[in-house]
Amino acid sequence: MTANDPAVAELGRWLEQARRIVVFTGAGISTESGIPDFRSPGGLWSRLRPVPFQEFLASEDARRAAWALTLSLHARLADVEPNRGHRAVAELARRGKLVAVITQNIDGLHQRADPAQVVIELHGTSAYAICLDCGARYEIEPIRQAFEAQGRVPYCTHCGGPVKAATISFGQAMPQAAMAAAERATRDADLFLVLGSSLVVHPAAGLVDLAKLAGARVVIVNREATDYDAIADLVVGGEIGAVLGAALGMD
Write out the E strands in the chain. Answer: 21-25, 98-103, 119-121, 124-131, 137-139, 163-167, 191-195, 217-222, 234-237
Q: Assess 222 for contact with ligand NAD (CB under 6 A).
A: yes
C-beta of 133 vs 209, nearer to ligand NAD:
209
Catalytic residue among 110, 123, 158, 202: 123
Give the Cα separation of 211 and 183 in Å (integer). 9
Among 3, 7, 9, 38, interactor with ligand NAD by CB under 6 A: 38
Q: Assess 26 for contact with ligand NAD (CB under 6 A).
A: yes
Question: What, of Zn ion, ligand NAD, none, does residue 158 touch, CB below 5 to 8 Å by kind?
Answer: Zn ion
Give the Cα separation of 234 and 221 in Å (integer). 9
Pairing of strands 119-121, 21-25: unpaired
Give the Cα separation of 24 and 186 in Å (integer). 9
Q: Assess 198 for contact with ligand NAD (CB under 6 A).
A: yes
Nearest to 192 by CA among 249, 234, 163: 234
C-beta of 16 vs 227, nearer to ligand NAD:
227
Using CA atoms, how far residue 4 sits from 8, 9, 10, 157, 196, in Å, is 7, 6, 10, 59, 22
Instruction: Give the interface segment with ligand NAD, choosing from 1-9, 37-45, 142-150, 180-188 (CB under 6 A).
Output: 37-45
Q: Which residues sit at the interface with Zn ion, rule CB under 5 A?
A: 131, 133-134, 136, 156, 158-159, 161
Q: Assess 125 for contact with ligand NAD (CB under 6 A).
A: no
For residue 27, what is the DSSP state?
Answer: G
Among 74, 97, 123, 217, interactor with ligand NAD by CB under 6 A: 123
Question: What, of ligand NAD, Zn ion, none, does residue 133 touch, CB below 5 to 8 Å by kind?
Answer: Zn ion
Give residues in contact with ligand NAD (CB under 6 A). Answer: 26-28, 30-32, 35, 37-39, 104-107, 123, 196-198, 201, 222-224, 239-240
Task: Tell me the catalytic residues.
Answer: 123
